[in-house]
Structure 1
Amino acid sequence: MKLIVLSLLLIGTVQQAFSDYYYTFTENGKVGLKNGQGTVLVPAQYDALGWSNGQFSVVENVTGYKLNDQWGLISIANQQVTKPVYNSLIPAPPNLFIASRQSSLSLRISTGCINALGKIIIPFQYAGMRIHNSRAVVYTLDGGVLKYGLIDLNHKLLIPQVYQNIYPLGSLRFGVQNFQQKTALFSENGKQLTPFDIDSLSPLQNDLAVIYKNGKQGLMNREGMVIQEPTFREIKLNGGIASARLSNEWHILSASSTLIKKIEADSLLPIGKSRVKQITTAGTRLLDVDFNTVGVEVVSKIQTFHQGLAIFSNKNLKGVLKEDGSVLLPAAFQQVLLGPDYIITRSQNLGKEFSTLYSLDGKPLTHKSYDQIDAFNGSFYPVRKNNFYGGVDRYGKEIMACTYDSVLSVYEDLAVVKFRGAYGIINLKEEWKITPQPNRLKLLNHDRYFEFTENLTFLKSIDGTTIYFTSNPFELDGNTLIETISTGGRWTINLNGQIIHRELPHHEHNEEIFPSSEGLRGIKKNGKYGFIDDLGRLRIANRYEDILPFQEGLAGAKIRGKWGYINKEDKIAIQPVFDEVNSFNNGYALVKQNNKYGLLQSDGKLALEIRYNQVTVQENGRIKISSDTGVGLSDAHGNMLLQPKYDSIDDLGNGYVIVKQNNQYGLVTLQGISTIPLHYDLLLFEPERNVYFGLRKSEFRELKF
């Protein structure tokens, strides 16, 4: 009997769970509502059910419905709680609904709040609102500016609508930001607990909030009392435990480790011959050669200086900064292009693009409105307006009206343009040199151009005379065409249409032919490798298992499973004793034997014994080596300079090497003498000032209060 009762209780519980589950269904393009048992609660007769943000839920036995592009509330018993009079409708805690509708006095959309019975809780007099428990952050548009305030759910004003933003921090506290970008802490009753002297506040955790001020962080409790002054780079809150670290410190050092200056920064990077950027949490500052601040403006980013100017960013907008720290162009543009003697800006307003050409002193050169201005192409600046293209000269004067579909190849005072779907060539006076015709064109120089048809390519003079044509593939090599003829040979043709060199076709029974190198090209025939010359004549018989191209007079050749080197007379220059080889470069070749690497000279002697995991010849001739014990350095002749004991090395080419060992950086001479101890988390060389930037990272420690 007890078992039967338990079963009935279980069935009832499951049925209740299914009945509390709701989902929408579609029928004949309309939407309805069913419960978990499949019972139709609301017939399919609405455009949508749920909320205007695309979500669906049932709150207090009601949900939203859409009819004729308007929203209302409907119960799960299919009773319309409100008429469909709202432009938007979304749920908000606690069991309320934020709705918007058109004002009866104007065309403006206003926002208010209703409950599950459709009763207006907060009047429709706001531009928008956010509900946080028993409080609502409301905002209205005043003179084109959104102004925020705080009310309770009885529509009592707690914080007046005069602020730029209000946001919840938790624990019945709000952060309030004024129009001077400063923040204060307020209680849920609208009491101001701190002055407006904070940059921003974090959410409260265990009644503690991180305060941000002048790029530093501190701690405040929910009563507005500062527990830790904002002197830290970063503070972490975890379960009531606060840990913090100070700012990273950079040491400016000489090669002999003399301390020149200490600077607090996340990053310190050279951005020109006389400027360094200092990056902190507050932003990016500009420093001079003595590491003093240049200018007063802190910006988001600064790029490298070129010709005394640098692109900088603020709040995702870009401008141009001068080396003295003053602003040439304010950060008001989506894009800035800094050219050798020009500046191009691109901005948007209400979805429309605008582009302006400036001189390097910030003077606008274009006075007409263009949607886009592109970089100088050697003859003019391509411009676009209303999806048609033209051009302006160096001084911003329009020399090609925006009447072309596109501007294609350009050479001096000539340009290929597409006009009404056809292709032609004009000069910068907009005189047609080649009138529009259907085939694509490409300029080669002031007197030659290509015309491309479906099957043929024509080389023509600027008066339209055909000089040469072909259906074969070709490539342009300087002032000649290299044409691959149908029989397999290659012809070299000058721009007067004359064939100045014929490379004969190679034998058809060659399985593979490789690119030419030093007058010989590898071939594969009957599974073996050899070399032919550029006329197709066999020079080295195909008797090798594999080959490399000739480099510095020698070519790698594989014989009986081992690699050596042969010369152009097909004589073995270096015996085949290696597992792998590389081509020679500057007298050296990397070779492998028994899974170890060494460096071979062209006379067959080893510059470095074959015992290293990796060997790299640097541009300065010195050799970086890697073994099981670490990384080291030798000179060009294989003499060891630094034993392979470091995690990494950076040969600076000035007699010093930055070394890393046990995750710490230092500086040594080429003789291995330490001049800057291995005490830094990062070490950078700044060649313009011949100084070193050493980073000392700060560590987190628990705060006691």
Structure 2
Amino acid sequence: MPLVLKTIILSFCLSLFTLGANATEYSVFVKNNLKGLVDNEGNEIIPAEYDDIGWSRGSTHVVGRVIGYRKRNNWGLISTKNEKLTRAIYSYLVPFDKQLIIAGIRKDGTNRSTYFLINESGKPVSKQRYDYLAAAGNRLIAANNRGRGQLFGLVDAKQRTLISLQFSDISYLGASRYAVTTQPNAVALYDADGNDLTGPSFQFINPFDGTLAEAAKDGKLGQIDTGGNIVIPFAYRRMKPGENTGMPFPEWKLLTGQNELLATVKYDSVIPAGKNLYRARSLKGELIMNGSGKALTDYCSCHIASVYPEYALVRRDDKYGLLDREGTWVLPPSYDSLIVGKDFYLASSTTATRLTQWHMLDESGKELSEYGYQTMIYSESGLIPVKRRNLWGYIDRKGKEVIPAIYQKVEPYRFDMAVVDYMGAQGVIDRDGEWVISPKEGRVDILSENRFLVKTRWGNHICDRHRRPVYETEQQLSPFDSLHLLATTDEGKVGLLDFSGNMVLSTMYDAVSPLMQDTVYIFDKGEKRGLLSKSGKVMIPIENEFEEFHDMHDDFFGVRIGGKYGFVDVNGDLRIANRYDSIGHFTEGMAPIKLLGRWGYVDKIERLLVQPLYDEAYPFHDGMAIIKMKGKYGMINKEGDRVIEAKYDEIHRGPSGRIVVRLGDRYGLFSSSGETLIIPKYEKITDLPGEYVIIRRHGKYGVTTKAGRSTIPPIYDTITYDDINEIFLAVTEPEWENLPNQEGE
């Protein structure tokens, strides 16, 4: 047989597609990139004239006596006798059962479709139309668009409503059961006739495996049967039903440093959130509890956003409210946004027409503002910027609109003045709404009570309250700090000038630092650095002898001159001679210096207080410094005495100031003055503020006093310190256990 003919036959055979349950009857074939249908004897039933044969979701089985065909992105129905039953008018065709088909038709002028059931002849089952329709067992899940989302329900094959279209979600679980979400974290079990079997009792229900389904309630897993009855109690973090095992939640104990038990709870995690407040998480949600383990909220999607002395700002299911320490809602969680002021709140809600509206509330939640606003911006300056009818104004702390909403844009008050945009121009008003600087073209910045920066397309200038020019320039000016403006040339060079327009640093430098230690600025040009006083006097010019110029520490700057290091003061005077190979920085009046390959310390009058004996030397803290000698670490005092011998592999200060050391694989503890508190005997030591440390021994965690006396025995898998409430959270991790049987045994 010729090779070409073999290739054609092979290509034809490869283009035959099996049609599901009707595999012995029909197959799709391809010819000239078009598709048709043949029977199991190879007879052409439907000629290859269509872009596709089958259904929208890719299947190709025949339903009764019909199958779908596609032309130009639309679908129609054709019989196995090559009779077109409908024109290609559908955007979507998918079989529902052996007689009915889910059809979609595009809405006029949109890419969205409306869905319904048709029979084999293309006749609609009913006049009912939906925005979503999908098979779910022998029923269909339907939905219609509502606002920004959809509301779901359940219908039968005659499109009769079994569950009304009012729920946020419905999913098919198998076994003729459905999970219906009534609100976030509230799911009910329904049967195929639309009967509610359980009410909104669960967070979620997974598909049935036979007659049982895994479900979650109050953050814990269990199992239910098809009637919604509890078969395995809700007590587990994870489950392996096939192995009949489950893993409980970790046990958390809230303990004082003296091992006094405050609470025992079981959650995935417990996170301190404020004074006597905790976030307790399990599975996909959380609740808020107090330090006694009492739940202050039900289990939901809760999050503590901020904590205040008397209450917490809480987000619950994407809404905000205020919760007090006893679990009472001061303000219900019903606001889209909530800002807490000193004696008022700013709150936004969504209206029935889906518009956002802001109000000022008093401490009881009563509306103070006379209008609903599009936006409110919290400000510490006294008056609150508000937006109404797309224009801005200000309200006072009582909600009264004291400056009418007539401006296109406003800024918070500063020096009892505010920058506003009015009629396309910008000016400055006082607290009574009177013009301090009338609106003009350009941008205005308030610098002080009597100085303003005005930027226009012609240049920048400083003026007073009467708009009298004080200084003008074509350079770019921008506020730098409370004393100066930053001037920038077109080439990117910068300098400083004061609010009276006096140039204190010419615009020839690459960068200027913030004010350091409220004393000086450092300015850079290339690799060189200079020094400018707070008052604007150049203390060290950029043309100097320094090859390196370090940042300021303890009023001294490290410098390199002629390849050697020393220190200068704020006047640029050399206070420590440039005789050293390397230096650290000054703390507590002493600085590390390196001489002849070894490190020691000098004071501010260059007395060599600690001889250069060490491989490494670090800055002093609380009168002691870490040093390294012959590969081992220790500590010395300011006299150079070794208060902790240099024999440790690791050494660091803890938050209490105590010293944690490691010798081999064991950790010990010294006081801040170098006294031995705990000899190196633990696998780990975590120093804490106050009187306690966390230790690990034989893989378990406990707590001792700083002197090493055990208070919480090392029996826990993890211990963390809650520094807000000054207690310990001790965790015991669970192990897999056998699930109880249906009798609870």
Cα offset for 1:131? 0.8
Amino acid aligned to 2:76: L
1:28 corresponds in structure 2 to: none
1:148 corresponds in structure 2 to: 153
The C-alpha deviation readout for 1:64-114, integer Å capped at 9, x for no partner, is 5568xxx5438899998644655x52646669763344899xxx9852134
1:415 corresponds in structure 2 to: 418
1:17 corresponds in structure 2 to: 14
For the pair 1:365 / 2:368, whether they are aligned, the reply is: yes
Distance 1:176 1:602 in 2: 73
The 5 A counterparts of 1:252-271 are 252-271=254-273
Distance 2:717 2:680 in 1: 21
For the pair 1:582 / 2:587, whether they are aligned, the reply is: no
CA contact (8 A) 1:253 1:261 kept: yes
The 5 A counterparts of 1:43-192 are 57=58, 59=60, 62=68, 64=70, 71-73=74-76, 82-83=86-87, 85-86=89-90, 88-89=91-92, 91=94, 98-101=102-105, 110-114=114-118, 119-120=122-123, 122-127=125-130, 128-132=132-136, 134-138=138-142, 146=151, 148-152=153-157, 155=158, 159=162, 161=164, 164=167, 166-175=170-179, 181=186, 183-184=188-189, 186=191, 190=193
Distance 2:317 2:613 in 1: 63
2:247 corresponds in structure 1 to: 245
Distance 2:589 2:292 in 1: 53
The C-alpha deviation readout for 1:303-323, integer Å capped at 9, x for no partner, is 254142222233222222233
1:354 corresponds in structure 2 to: 357
1:522 corresponds in structure 2 to: 558
1:29 corresponds in structure 2 to: none
Cα separation, partners in 2 of 1:425 and 1:614, compared to 1, 3 Å: farther
Cα offset for 1:344? 2.0
Q: 1:378 aligns with which of 368, 381, 384?
A: 381
Cα separation, partners in 2 of 1:663 and 1:332, compared to 1, 3 Å: farther
Distance 1:547 1:79 in 2: 94
Cα RMSD after superposing both structures? 4.6
For the pair 1:555 / 2:591, whether they are aligned, the reply is: yes
2:320 corresponds in structure 1 to: 318
1:39 corresponds in structure 2 to: 33
Any idea what SS the aligned residue of 2:156 has?
Answer: strand
For the pair 1:461 / 2:458, whether they are aligned, the reply is: no
Distance 1:628 1:334 in 2: 56
Cα offset for 1:427? 0.7
Distance 1:174 1:56 in 2: 23
Distance 1:343 1:620 in 2: 39
Any idea what SS the aligned residue of 2:115 has?
Answer: strand
Q: 2:712 aligns with which of 676, 679, 682?
A: 676
Any idea what SS the aligned residue of 1:423 has?
Answer: strand
Cα separation, partners in 2 of 1:5 and 1:218, compared to 1, 3 Å: farther
Amino acid aligned to 1:337: I
Distance 2:692 2:632 in 1: 28
5+ residue gaps, structure 2, are 19-27, 37-50, 62-66, 486-495, 497-503, 510-529
How much identity, in percent, do the aligned residues show? 24
CA contact (8 A) 2:633 2:646 kept: yes
2:520 corresponds in structure 1 to: none
CA contact (8 A) 1:193 1:224 kept: no
Distance 2:52 2:376 in 1: 47
Amino acid aligned to 2:426: Y
CA contact (8 A) 2:179 2:187 kept: no
The C-alpha deviation readout for 1:31-64, integer Å capped at 9, x for no partner, is xxx998863679xxxxxx899x9x9857457455
Cα offset for 1:507? 3.2
1:440 corresponds in structure 2 to: 443
Cα offset for 1:6? 12
Distance 1:627 1:354 in 2: 64
TM-score, normalised by the number of residues in structure 2: 0.74
Any idea what SS the aligned residue of 1:369 has?
Answer: coil
Distance 1:244 1:555 in 2: 60
| Number of aligned residues | 663
CA contact (8 A) 2:163 2:194 kept: no
1:665 corresponds in structure 2 to: 701
TM-score, normalised by the number of residues in structure 1: 0.78
For the pair 1:697 / 2:727, whether they are aligned, the reply is: no
Cα offset for 1:378? 1.7
5+ residue gaps, structure 1, are 22-33, 43-48
Any idea what SS the aligned residue of 2:14 has?
Answer: helix
Cα offset for 1:577? 3.4
Amino acid aligned to 1:600: I
Cα offset for 1:373? 1.0
Cα separation, partners in 2 of 1:66 and 1:102, compared to 1, 3 Å: same
Any idea what SS the aligned residue of 1:12 has?
Answer: helix
